Amino acid sequence: MTSRTFWAGTGALAVIAVAVALVLRPGEEPIAAAHPAATEVKGPVLASLGEQKVGSDELKTLLAQLPEPTREHLRGDRPALEAWIRARLAEKALYRQAEAKGWPQRPDVEAQTRAVSEQIVLRDYLASVTRVPDDYPSQAELEQAYQATKDELRLPVRYRLSQIFLRVENPKDDEAVVKQAQALAKQARDGNFATLAREHSQDTGTAAQGGDSGLQALDQLLPEVREVVTRLKVDGVSEPVRTAAGLHIIKLVEQQPARAATLEEVTPQLTQLLRAQRQEQLVRNYVNGMFDSATLSIDGAALNQVLEASR
């Protein structure tokens, strides 16, 4: 959940999941925190829990590895970032406890660590020997892929929304914030929404743009907002909408109908898809070449013994 936009499914748990995933490459096990407590903290300390610390460089690494839309999204969601920091501190403290009890030296843990480490090395090595050329795909290849799939490449109905966001920091302030939101909603219908957003919205990510949060498909919106938007007419302003983040006063600025996507609009996604497909092909060819260049031998009897033993 976020005050920056109305994106659905973003919140403390989602950010923690992203934080774990972003330090991994596709397919890796979550071992990025294999030695979190032993990692030297670089840069100013952002937070601490006992002896455990999270430094500014660690947060910079987190943000740098995220896609730009997600990175921009999290910049405006302080509660979610603070949840990530708390999660990292908890991970480090837990690892220190496990380390003190000799957990990393347990045979089963060492075996899992070796197996995961081997997979990481193999993936990185394969990526280095099957590198997709920087100039792939060409414009002609993009055009060909677009023509082959353009009937499936459609943009859904999209809504350009503006908001005035008020955060409820303390439950005791709820009534006062609700009254303020109701008054702002009335003013927004009679006056300049953008000016009110700049002056009153507590969403730093959109306030400077007069509350504009850009074009978004319906399934990108929070359920509470989704229900309201579908009932609004263009230039309509909603009553305050309560979400877990706070209160949103929403204006429907524009509604674009569903339509076929242009090549320009899908070029980034097509490029990523074609490069991923080429990478898979290069990996397959490289591995098959290893079998072509050496003799494969499998001991059937020994294999049968293993299978029998595993019953």
pLDDT recorded at residue 40: 67
C-alpha closest to that of 40 among 22, 58, 65: 58
Residue 273 C-beta-side C-alpha neighbours within 13 Å: 10
Whether residue 300 is contained in a domain is answered as: no
Contact indicator for 33, 91 with CB cutoff of 8 Å:
yes
Is the residue at 7 inside a domain?
A: no
Angle formed at CA 244 by CA 201 and CA 194, multiple of 5 degrees? 20
6 found inside a domain = no
The gap from C-alpha 75 to its chain's centroid, in whole angstroms, comes to: 12
Tell me what the mean pLDDT of segment 279-302 comes to.
90
Q: Based on the fold, state whether residues 267 and 250 are members of the same structural domain.
A: no
248 & 189 share domain: yes
Same domain, 105 and 162: no
Condensed to tens digits (0 to 9), the pLDDT of residues 225-276 reads 999 999 999 999 999 999 988 999 999 999 999 999 999 999 999 999 999 9
Taking the alpha carbons at both ends of the chain, their separation in whole angstroms is 48
SS3 276: helix
Q: Is residue 121 domain-shared with residue 16, that is, in the same domain?
A: yes
Amino acid 247: pLDDT? 95
* pLDDT (0 to 100) of residue 184: 96
pTM above threshold 0.75: no
Alpha-carbon distance of 67 to 268, in angstroms, equals 12
Same domain for 250 and 268, yes or no, is no
Domain region containing 256: 154-260
Length in residues, the chain: 311
- Classify residue 159: in a domain, yes or no: yes
Residue at which a domain ends, from 243, 260, 277:
260
- Inside any domain, residue 251: yes
d(CA 140, CA 158): 29
Whether the predicted pLDDT of 21 surpasses 80: no
Q: Which residues pair with 154 in a beta bridge?
A: 260
Whether residues 18 and 125 fall in one domain: yes
Same domain, 111 and 31: yes
Distance CA 219, CA 159 (A): 11
Q: What are the pLDDT digits (tens) for 121-167? A: 999 999 999 999 999 999 999 999 999 998 888 899 999 999 999 99
Name the token pair of 204. 């730093």
Overall average pLDDT of the 108-114 stretch: 95
211 and 273 in a single domain? The answer is no
| 209 and 268 fall within a common domain | no
Residue 3 falls within a domain, yes or no?
no
Please check whether residues 237 and 164 belong to one and the same domain.
Answer: yes
DSSP category for residue 165: E
Residues 21 and 119 in one domain: yes
115/217 same-domain check: no
Provide the domain count of the chain.
3
Distance CA 213, CA 199 (A): 16
Write down the residue that tokens 């939101």 correspond to: 181
